[in-house]
Structures are given as structure tokens and as C-alpha cells.
Amino acid sequence: HGTMIAGIIHLVAPRAKIMPLRVFRPDGTASTSDIARAVYYAVENGAKVINMSFSLPDFSPEIMRAANYAARRGVICVASVGNDGKNVLVFPAALGNVIGVASTTNEDLRASFSNFGEDTVWVAAPGEGIITTFPGSSYAAAWGTSFSTAFVSGAVALLLEVDIKTNAAQAGDALSHAKSISEELGYGRLDLYEAVLARRKALGLQ
């Protein structure tokens, strides 16, 4: 999963440095303390974007505090909204200072598995049949909001290349220049060109 996420981020932002942190066990479980600890570690060791390609059904004060800490330090958090096909709150995507990401199809519709809802989703990105890196020096196709999240994290890395001081609010504003689909998918499907252009315009760059 991590290798596939990293491959997408590298595809979008080839010059971004990736800090891989393992917090989930082989069976896909993790403790909230492990997740929070990884967030603190990433912030303290120079991360500018934290890709959180996971979702939890319950609110966690520990993770909220970690996300708040990251935001205060200027680190931008991006999280998937989950794959249950429901209008439901999941965390950390539903936190106010985290960019929640849903999945779209190749036809710019909501992917059937993607969670949705204006209280969780800020923007969406492709999440079906995404070809990316796979362990063993190979490639594989992936489906899920995890992989859509990686596209948005890569987009944020590009915005930071435009201006390293870009904060979460400014990144969110740039990402909102997306292809509108429906209210259930926030501002719509990610448009890398428009997002970067919007950030450049905001800075008075040509």
C-alpha cells in the first residue's frame, strides 16, 4: 500500500522527497497513538505535507491534537474519506484542518466505493485502476480513496514548489479550482494545472 501511494506522489511531484513512516500492522490495524506519534515525528523531522491514506470511523482526540499541532507548524495534512460508498464522517478527513479526498471514475463521476459528503470531502481525484509502483520492481493497478489522496498530496507538494510558505488554507483555496461534479464531492475533481495556476496568481506570478 505504501509503495503504491509513494509511486503516485512521485508521479505528480517528481522532485518531492518522501518520508515513509509505517504505522499500520500487516493486518491493516493501527493504534491511534501510533498514528499520532507518526504525525509528530513527521512534523519534527521536516515534513511539509502528511499523506494519510486511511480513515477511521471514530473521532480521536489524540489524532485531532496531532493534526492541530501539524497545522500550527505549517504542515498540510491530506486524508482519504474512506471506501464505504456512504455519506458518513470519517477521521482524520472530517477534521477542520485536514483536506479530505474522495474518488472519481475516469468519467468524472463519484466512484461507487467512495464515501462522500460536503462535511468530509474537500476535493476528489481519480481512484479507479490507477497504475502505480508495486513491491518487486513492478507495477499494479489500484482502486480506492487512498490512491486519490496521494494525487492530492502530490498536488500540495507542487504548490509548495511554487511557494514553500503555502499553508493549509492557501493550499485548500488553490485545490478548490477543480472540475465541479456535485456537492457531495466538495469542489470537484482535482485539476493540477488550475490549482498551480491559482496559487501563482495569488502570489502575483505570471
| C-alpha cell belonging to residue 161 | 514548489
Please write the tens of the pLDDT for every residue from 111-170.
999 999 999 999 999 999 999 999 999 999 999 999 999 999 999 999 999 999 999 999
Residues 6+ away with beta carbon under 8 Å from 133 = 3, 4, 6, 7, 10, 139
Cα–Cα distance, 75 to 130 (Å, whole number): 27
H or E segment to which residue 198 belongs: helix 192-202
Please write the tens of the pLDDT for every residue from 45-91.
999 999 999 999 999 999 999 999 999 999 999 999 999 999 999 99
| C-alpha cell belonging to residue 167 | 499553508
Burial class (CB in 10 A: 0-12, 13-18, 19+), 164: exposed
Cα–Cα distance, 202 to 198 (Å, whole number): 6
**Is-above-0.85 flag for pTM?**
yes
| C-alpha cell belonging to residue 61 | 482526540
Cα–Cα distance, 47 to 137 (Å, whole number): 26
